[in-house]
Each structure stands twice: as structure tokens, then as C-alpha cells.
A and B are shown apart, each in its own frame.
Chain A
Amino acid sequence: MATEWGNNSIGPGQSVGWFFSRSNRTEFLPVLQVMPLSPSFTGGEWALTGGGYPYFNQLGVSTTWSELTDDLQNLVYHLIVQNNSANTIEYAFLEGDLSAGENPVAAPAAGLGSNSNYFLCNCSNILDLNLTIEVTEDIKGSDGFSFQVNCYSPSGVDGIQQYVITMDPQGTLYAAVDNWTYSAGHVHQLINYFPSIGSLPNATLPAGYTLTISLQNDDDGNITGASYNVNDENDHSVASKVIDLLKLDLYQSSNPITSADLSPIVATTVDFVDWANGNQTTLSSGAGVFVFNAKTAMTVRNTEPGCVELDGGTLETSNSIYGQMPAGPSQSMTQSFATSAKASAEIVRRATVMHKLTPGDAAR
């Protein structure tokens, strides 16, 4: 059903530009039309403009243009109202909402950016989680940057599991596994594996690049490893690494990881932050899209679900910002990311337990 609102006038032969703004929600198809409230007292004839565009000598509207605001929070629609008649016309707007999507989930309390993003969860085992990062604008940070897939386990061995592609300030790329156990209110390092997988000529990740982090599960849903890929704009491999957790050693030990050290994940959150060491990076540019896929459906939440073992978060921060997402559940979801004009990380989540990504073991 359409909604009629406003009371406006437009003189004969005039064109008036309008804007209409609303929060950025997915799959919303705006339908805007003008409703004449007074006669034009003009015969209905039509003609062509010099450019061949047909028009009636009545009240009408142009096509609709749309704009996503720099902070990703709002969609602005633009159209021209035109009065081609010989008299002033009074009119209202008729607005239809052909939204096929869902309302977005409200942002987390700290905001949507830096180390504060939605949680994707199912409170069961998330299987075959795959994150693809499509870079649409060159990414450059004052202290490098990282894409962290921060995963949460139920009560078990691994409280927090981090799978990360990170680039240091010199342009070296790393694939990291940084897993933690939890006891007595603290996290303890279980795995810290940080091999270099390649480098770029400078510390900029060009637009058109695609990064993927894919997690593997065993029959019990435990995470057994991860594969990391960096492809350039022509889809040629720049760097890749497959990490089998059972081929690594425990942190600062020569004892190998065993299946008893593995755990499933029930929730995940992705952060676009500093490259490591709990620091903050200032992104001068960078934008793209996160594409999430999993064998199991996930739901979007703005708070950490109660089914995880601990309230944990990453210390690394940045001035990144994230777009809103519908609640799901779904096996496939997308989320935009971009760089805030702010020079510092204004969005910072403070979890009960914070963990730091520390460059560590590169052996094996």
C-alpha cells in the first residue's frame, strides 16, 4: 500500500530536484510518484526533448538516482519533479515500499567498525565457514591491517580461535592461527602460528584483489585447519597457504597438537583492524565486501551469544566501518566495509577478555 504525504507546489515549466534519505537496508526497492492535488488545466499532449526523451505536458517525475553515504549508514534517492503544464500544480508524494528483505539488525552497542562487528552464530557447530573479502578500493593503513576471523567455541578446549590474513607495514602477508584456551577468567595461548605467505611491492592491497579464509572441520565439527588465499585482480594467485592444525605444535612447546586440542566453533565475528600487537592502524583508504558462506545456517546478532565459552574480543583496532546486515538465518551473507574519515578508531569494543594477535612461530 502506498503512503501519501506532503503538500507541495510547482510552477509551470519548472523542474525541482528532491532528495529522500533512509537508513541503509538491503533489498529495499523504493517507488516514488507524484499525486496531483490540483488540475493542470492543460491538454494532454506529448513530445520529445532535444535528446529524444519523451514527456507529457503534465506533472511527472524523472528516473530515480541513488547514493550510498560515505559512512554506509544511509541510502539517498534523488529525483526531479517536473511540471510541463501551463499552470502551477499542487501535489503530494506517493511512496511505496517494495522491500523484499528483512530489517537490519541494530548495530552492536559499541558500533559497527574496528573490533566491533556483528556475531554470526548458530549455537550449534558452524561447518565449512568461508569468508571471501572482495577489495573494491585500495587498502592502506598507517600500521598495516588485518582481516581477522575471530571464532568462538562452546565449552571445550579452544575458547577463541583466530584465523587471520594480515599485512605488516612493509607489505609482507601472513596467514595466522592464534588460538586460546580459557580458564580462571583468563585466556592462555594454545596455538600461535604466523607464517609469511608472500609480499606486495608496497603496503597497499589493491582494489580488485580477493582474499579467502576457509575453515575445515572433522566429523565432530572440530576445526582442523584453514586455507588462505590472496588473488589479484586477474584472479591469479599472489599467496596461498593451507594450515593443518594437527601438524603444528602447542604454543612454546615441542608437543604436537592432538585431536584433544581441537574444538568446534559456534559463533564468529570478522574484524578489519591493525595488523598485530594490539595496536591501532589508521586506514587512509579501503573498502570492499565480506561474503560469508557456511554449510550450516547462521544468524546475525549484535551481542555475543550466550552459547560461547567467554566474552572475548581482539585488541587490534582501526578506523574501519561495517554495513548493516539482516538477521537471517542464512548460509550465505554479505556485508560491506569501508574506511571512516576519522583519523582514529572511535569504535572500540571492550570485552571481558581481550586477546592480542602476536607475530610468533613461523616454523613448520
Chain B
Amino acid sequence: MPGKFVAALTATHEHERQPQDSMKREDLIQHSELSHRYDEMFDAEGAPRTHWKELSELIASESRGAAARRADQVRRLSAESGVNYNVHADPSGADRPWQLDPMPLVIDAAEWQHIKTGVAQRARLLNSMLADLYGEQTLFVSGKLPAELAYAHPNFLWPALGTQPAGGHWLNVYAADLARAPDGRWWVIADRTQAPSGMGYALENRDIIARLFPELIGDLAVRPLGDFFTQFRDALIDDSADGLAVMLTSGPLKDGYFQHSYLARQLGMLLVEGNDLTVRDSMVFLKTLGGLKRVVTIVRRIDDALCDPLELRGDSALGVPGLMSVVRAGNVRVANALGSGVLESAAWMGFMPALAEPLIGESLLLPSVATWWCGEKRVLSAIQDNLDQLVIKPAFPTANFAALDGSELSPQQLDALRERIAAQPGIHVVQERVRLSQTSAWTAERGGGWVPRTLTMRVYAVATADGYRVMPGALAGVAANANADVVAMQRGGSSKDVWVLSSSDHEASHFRESRPRVGQRSEDESSRMIENLFWFGRYSERCEDKVRLLRATLTMSIDPAARRSGSWATAIALARQFGVLRKDGEARLRAAVTDPDIPFGLANDVANLARCAVQARSHLSAEQWATVSDLQQSFVEQRDNAADARELLDDSLLALAAMAGFTLEGMTRDEGWNLLMLGRRIERSVFLADLMSRLLLAKRGPTAIELGWLLDIGDSTITHRARYRETPRLATVFDLMLNDISNPRGLPFLIIAIQRGFDRIDDDARPAWPPPAAALMAQTDPLLIERDDEEGNAARHRLGEQVQAVLDGTEAFADWLSLRYFVHADAQRPVLSA
């Protein structure tokens, strides 16, 4: 046995010796000196492979500058895409988004046919393995598989034993990580059976790369990805079924949220978190504005053991208590079935070739990288002298050691490793070391150029009524350096779009990406999402109000008359009360704009707006999203640049105005939109009423400069000038802001707008609207409140009190809305009793 083992190893090592590469290439493309790797782009003689011809010619014909521009364009597009969005928005942070490489990976039709068939076959095999593991366990009884691989795996879910997956598949979505060996064959290096990630990235990558090579992608008849997502959707969502399909995510603070949100939109599913769902009577329901709605399909993006704190891991706050019992009752389809993560271990790989024949009656088409589980006695003795040629990996995700490359260990370290493996053989797996293939990737270093990088590729399959369908494309990853044999995008690597060429014109009949249809109904929106949209509306408006407040105050600061009249002091005091300046010390207006240490300052509200946008991401357009994300980015970048504060405020106003425009012009008028608009209107009413009542209730009446400042903040300067053609007076300002129902920046207009939004909410228990004080305001005598005598002051104060009453009424209404409609995510606590 040991002899055969070593022979197998030697054989593959011989394959690695290839003719020395000596051909000249375009200077820009620096090629690897190492000859023991397969080159994706060039053959052994250095000529481009046939299917790379067009792309390599295009790249080779370009100047360095043109290539660098393309790389910049990719960086910009992927930063805007939002898929890569970094919640913490820290430009120097360790978790900055990984890059998309501008050059795609090209795969020809014949080769893809082989990969596609192999991946679909492997999905079938893994699905059958799961059915056996959670069913009859004939594979253990017959000795074809060691039971230890399941029983010792933390993702083997005992409560799932004996369950039958609704819909018939254990494995609905599968991904295989592939690597190309030096002999040109593709090998499977890992199986993703739980909630394979990256599908959203693959789609997003295609969108970006297609914009860089619009002609080429058509000329080459690159296979579109859209159909795959339609098939995915159709396979999972039964439109005739009486229930919703949702995607279960771990929430906006966890990795991958953006991808989940993107994918959910592509598939037309609602994106929900664990406590948006509830179990009643062996069924799952979504909490919506209109009550509980039955859920029949859950695409989960969270790990097996975290899905149900009742029966699985009790410390999980992400799951749905009772979900396992709904699965047992067959009342919900979970993709992938709970427990499917047990196959995520390299240990299974060595056993799979022998399982293919008995389980699916075929032999395995795609080889896995040669793998041995050390729990097998014969393996343990065979590896004693070969450890230095192998990679040693944990068999279970709970193991407390990382993968090791035997060739990098000293003799002493190897001895220690042998001892460790002998003590606990079952938790170790050894694998042949794979020399990954290389392809060109862009580097910005040394003026920019193409450098060789090692590559792996993730290929996706979904279960449909007609068997497993494979996405005609993939998510490729390239390592950060030329000879890494582990590709980890988080560690500085980047991703690549993968172009699968069509074998016939038929396959590429529609080059334009066809988008899956969106099937969700707005009334089914989760209460949480409605709440997110409401707060998104409030924060958009709050940011705009504070930008205007700061800008108007900056404008006033250069007016010497303002200082003399005391108006400046009034403005600064009010700005302090609204939280945009530090409570004491010098005003330092410009520095305050981006100061994150002012608790209610503008910078913090911009960050809050971005946070709300993160949570409402699935409802915002790409433009809205890009606008918010740019806005937040500029506040972070200009933190120490007070000199440009005025420009930043101007730019912010443009951005916020654009957002308001997108909201009005681009969003469907559903419940979410209504709440978003209510949020905006409520916020603006509260802000304006607060500001005006403070000015009206002051001891003396507002000066002309203060009134001008108020109009500036209320964005009504131009209207005022056009209408009254004079310096602002209290009478004219009152007329415009508190009396005129046609001024969208005035209180009467806002009160009516709130009324309209309110009328769309069908609820008997709603409070009275508008507040009675609103009608009283209209009875004010505009000339009387201007008078600087006792009667005039009393009338002005009365008006101030009425405005304040409107403010109180608006706030009470907002409180009622939130109490009545929003989920107050109740704490979910595990309890145990002995």
C-alpha cells in the first residue's frame, strides 16, 4: 500500500515538468519563470491559446496608460457597485473590499462542457450522500464511509436525522472550487454545500467587465449569466404555492450582507433576518405590516447550526426558534437543507470516487485533488515518510489548527506533526499539493502591468426539475502573489469574471443579460424593512436640514452686519441647540462640518444615513446607493480638511437633492415608499417647526438677517425674493413658511403631505391629524406679529406656541407610527432547565 501511494505522488510530480518557456511576449505582460504550472493564456510555446486569441491581442495592442485607465475604471465601478461596500467605511481598514481584476478568464466551449457535466454530476453525488447520511446510513453500515466523518462533524445535525427535505433536494445550491493541475486537467479542491457564497459577486463582476469590453463580449459570444438566475428562481419559488420565498441573512453588520441583498433582488426574494420570521403551529411566517404571512421557501445564508436556537446551537441569535420542527413537518423548503454543511470537509473527497458507482451509477468525471483521511489505518502508516510532500488539513471546521504545507516544515516540525496525527488521526486529512495554474492579472505597482498570478475558480450549480443546472460562468480568484497555492481573496487577492464561450450561436442568442423578473409584492414587505425605509427618509431629510443650517450660518459669518446686530449670536446659539456645533468653546463652523466627535453633528447623521441605506439596500436603486456611499466617503476623506467645508456642503446638497429626486422619480409607490416619504416629511416638519418656534418665542422679534437666514435654511430665499421683492420681514416670511399651502418647504404644505401619507394607512386607532394648532396658525394677523410692542410680542409668542404645538403633534404621530408598525425586535433569550 505505501508503495502505491508514493508512486501516485511521483506520477503527478512528473507531469509538472514542462518545456522551458522561452518565447517573447509583449513587454507589458510579464510571464512566470516557473514552468511547472499550467498557463491559462499561453501554450507551451508561448503563443496565445486559441480561445484567448482575441482578448490577448486586444490587451497586447494597448498602451500601458490605456490598460491603467481600464484598471481604474474597474476599481471605480466596483466601489460604486455596493456589493463590495465596507460598512465601516474606513479607507485604511483591513477589511477593504477586494479588487476585481480587469482581465476576465476565458474558457472554451468544449472544456466548459466537461466542467459543467462534472460539476452537475458531483452535485448529484453529494445530494445522494446527504440523503443517505440523514436517512438509512447504508454507506456507514457497508463500510464505504466512516461514520466518524459525520458523527464528529459539528454540522451533522442530529435533529435532522430522518427528515425529508421539502422539494426533494438536500442540495439546492452547490459550488465546487476548481483548480487546474499542471497537466491541464481541472480538479475539485473543495465542495461548498451549505450556503455557497459569491454568486452575487459573479453576477456583479460580469456587469462591470461587460462595460469594459462591450464589443469583444459580443464578438466572442460569451455566455450570459441571467438565465441561470431565472432558473435558480424558478427552481426555488413555486409561484402557485401559497407562501413567500425569503432569503435569510445574518444582518447588515455581518460579512456578505451586500451580496445577500444583491442576490435577493436578482432572485426577487425578500431579504429577512431571523427575528423577522416566527414559527407557529409547524409553519414559518414573516412579520409584515399586514400581519403574519406564510413562508414556504427559505434560501439561507447562515450556517446550519445557527438556524434554530431551540434545537441547534442555543447561543445563536441569528436563527428562527422552531425552524427545525417546521422542516421535520415538511412545511418549509430550506435551501440548502439543514444539515448539508456536514459535507464541507476535505475528508469526504478521498471516498467519493468509490461512491459514485453505487450511488448514481456513474464514474466520477471531475477528479478531486488526491486526499486521504488519516483516520484510516493504512493511510496513517503510508504518510509517515511523505508528510513533507503533502498538505495537512483539519477534517472538521472545529479543529484548532490551520492547513499546513509539509514542504515548509523542518524535520523537527515534521516529527511533532507525526506525533500529533498519531494521537488524533481522525481529525487530520492529507492532500496532494496542487500547483495552481496561472493567468495574467493587473498590478498597479511599478507603473502598472500584467503579472502572472495563481488561480482557482468557483463554479455554481442549482437543482431544478430537470437536474442540476450549472452557471455558465464562475467566480475566479487570483492570489496576491505569483506562486501562492492557496488563493484567498480576503488576503489581498482579487476576483475575475469568467467568460465561457458559446459552442454555437444558439447559446448566445441574446447577449444582453436578461434579468430575472421580480416577483415580490409590496404588502408582503417585512416590518423591519418598512422601518428601515422610514428612517432612511428621516435621515436623508435630517442631513439636508443640517447641511442647510451649517451653510446658511457660514454665509452669515462673513456678513459684518450680522455680528453687529446680534443675529450671529442667535444663529450660533440655535446651531448649538440643533447639535451641529460643539456645545461650548469657539464656534469653528468649518471644522464642525466633518467632526465625528460632535454627537448630533452632520458627520454622524451622514454616517447614520449610510447605515440606514445599508439596511434598506435592497429597496434603493443603484444611483441612490452610489450617492449615499459617495457622500459618506467624502465626509470621511475630508475629515481633516476644514478649508473645503463650504464646497463639501454644496456638494452634499447636490447629492441629497439628487437622492430626493431618485425617491420621487424612481421608486414604486408602495407601502415602503409611503413610509419613506412620511419619514422625510415628518423630519422636515419637526425641524422647521422647532427652528421657527424658537425664533418666534425669543424675547425680541427676529431681525431681517435672522429671517434671511431662516429662509436660506428653509430653501425659500428665491421664492421669497420673487414673490415679495423686498428684504425679508416677519409678515412675508410668516406668509411663505406658515401660511402658504403651495410652498413645499412651508409647514402647511408638509402637514397636508403627511395627511396624504397617513390616509394610506388603514387603521382605526390612528391619532387625530392635523394637530388643531395648525388651523389656529392661519388666523394670525401678519402685521400684528411684526409690531415691537406688547400686543405685537404677545401675538408673536402665541404664534410661536402654536408652531410648537404642531411640532409636538408631529412627534407624537411619529411615535405612534413606530409603536404601531415597527418591530421592536424583542430580545430573544435561550433558557435551560435541569
- A joins B in a complex: no
Chain A residues engaging chain B, CB cutoff 8 angstroms: none
Chain B residues engaging chain A, CB cutoff 8 angstroms: none
